[in-house]
A and B are shown apart, each in its own frame.
Chain A
Amino acid sequence: MDRQQSMDQRLIERARLGDRAAQQALWRRHRRWVAAIILAHRPRAVEVEDLMQDVAVRLISRIESLRDPDAFRPWLRQIVINVCRGAARSLKPALRLVGSDRDADSTESSGALTPTSREEPVGQVADRREAARRLLKLALTLPSEYREPLLLRCLRSMTYRQISEVLDLPITTIETRLARARRMLREEFGSNTATEGLA
């Protein structure tokens, strides 16, 4: 067990007993990757911060029920997934009523890659920030088994091992999914820019 895990275990034990400081410390240590998972799974019409609030509430109210401290990361990830699913379910009826552009983009990804907006002026892709936005947009359309490790990897401090702990998967699987995700992203980004005559 490394020191991070050791610290986590102590915090989890105390958090389960209702220690507010331990809960806060635990939250701070894990909230970045929680935000990344939310980003990977949220309905597009819901802000990451709003879902973070829900996850925080559930973390406090349910930490007592966590029996195995070693399973904390997968346990917390499942909370995140459930919160995102709940948000998607509660959003669907409203979408039909509102029908705004933003809401139309608000459901879980179907796995199909989203074509570039037709309104987007040709040439702006050269802008680095715009390219980054489009990369993220494309990343969010990858199948969830690929986009999740990809976004977690974007938290530069997360190693393959830590990602494997969160996703409860072998490291080799994480590596393979990351490699596929990157290749899909590059191919799709390349084909989009080529379509616009900018490659």
Chain B
Amino acid sequence: MSESGKTNPMDEQTPDAVTEADILIGRIVDGEADEQDRTDFERLADADPLLWRAVATRHQDMASLCDEVDHEIAMATTLELPDFVAPRRAPRWAVALSGWAAVLILAVIWTTMPQSKGIEGLPPARPVQINPDDELTFEQHMQQYLLAPYVMGELDPIVFRVEELPDGRQAIHYVRRIEAFEFLDADEELPVNDKGHLTIDPSELHAPVGPASIAETVH
């Protein structure tokens, strides 16, 4: 029985059957009610004003419950997929490569720098013939990553630390920056703080519209 105490013919068939009011309240609480639903609900509430209280109570219940669910799964929803491509022999410098703002911190030996010149600018986004069971090199990994439609390319790397090594060489620590994009609907607020940083996980943003064509347009 609902908070209103109102019964419905359905209740006589099955003890836990829901009433029309239950369904309408659910739609209102969930933001799925249309104009007709609201009209129907108001008609029911005219006869039973306690239904307004039921709406408020269930709204409050859901808000509290949702807050708690958010809290319970907060950590879990930041979990990234494990990297199965190179599970054991991954080079130490390949610390992380994940998501739109993937930042890969590399420590490279100064003498090997000529080999890394290729990372400047936009690497060619062409398919790479790779067996999923093989270990990827960093560049292969990067090329695979760049195949994603939401990744535009790579910005110039930023050197943030130079370390003198005992053998006289230098280790250059730099950050590689991936440029990616997501789409927001016109009526959505830009989730950016005053420093220009996104305030939510970009994966929670809306998906690109018509992925291939839009991606190509943006390129």
Interface residues of A (CB under 8 A from B): 3-4, 6-7, 10, 14, 18-25, 27-29, 31-32, 35-36, 38-39, 48-49, 52-53, 56-57, 59-61, 128, 131-133, 135-136, 139, 150-151, 153-157, 159-160, 175-176, 178-180, 182-186, 189
Contact = CB atoms under 8 A, between A and B. Distances in A.
B57 A25 contact: no
A4 B207 contact: yes
Contact of A52 (B32, B72, B76, B208): B76
Contacts of A180: 16, 18, 22
Nearest to A59: B81
A154 B67 CA distance: 8
Contacts of B144: 19-21
Given A133-B68, A176-B18, A185 B76 contact: no
Contacts, number: 150
Contacts of B99: 24, 28
A29 B148 CA distance: 14
Interface string B39-82: 00000000000000000011001101111111011011101111
A31 B77 contact: yes
Contacts of A22: 147-148
Contacts of A139: 65
A48 B65 contact: no
A48 B75 contact: yes
B27 interface: yes
Given A3-B209, A7-B207, A182-B26, 9 more contacts: A20-B85, A21-B144, A24-B81, A27-B80, A29-B207, A178-B26, A179-B18, A182-B29, A186-B58
Contacts of A151: 69
A19 B147 contact: yes
Contact of A31 (B76, B85, B136, B208): B76
A7 B209 CA distance: 8
Contacts of B119: none
Contacts of A186: 3, 57-58, 61
Contacts of A10: 149, 211-212
Contacts of A60: 81-82, 84
Interface string B1-42: 011000000000000101000110111011010000000000
Contact of A154 (B3, B26, B65, B80): B65
A185 B61 contact: yes
Given A18-B132, A28-B99, A135 B65 contact: yes
Contact of B67 (A27, A132, A150, A184): A132
B68 A21 contact: no
13 contacts: A3-B207, A20-B136, A20-B145, A21-B146, A21-B151, A24-B81, A52-B79, A150-B65, A154-B69, A182-B22, A182-B58, A182-B61, A185-B65
B112 interface: no
B98 interface: yes
B203 interface: yes
A70 B68 CA distance: 31
Contact of A136 (B69, B98, B209): B69
A174 B210 CA distance: 29
B62 A182 contact: yes
Interface in B121-137: 130, 132, 136
A131 B57 CA distance: 13
Interface string B150-161: 110000000000
Contacts of A59: 81
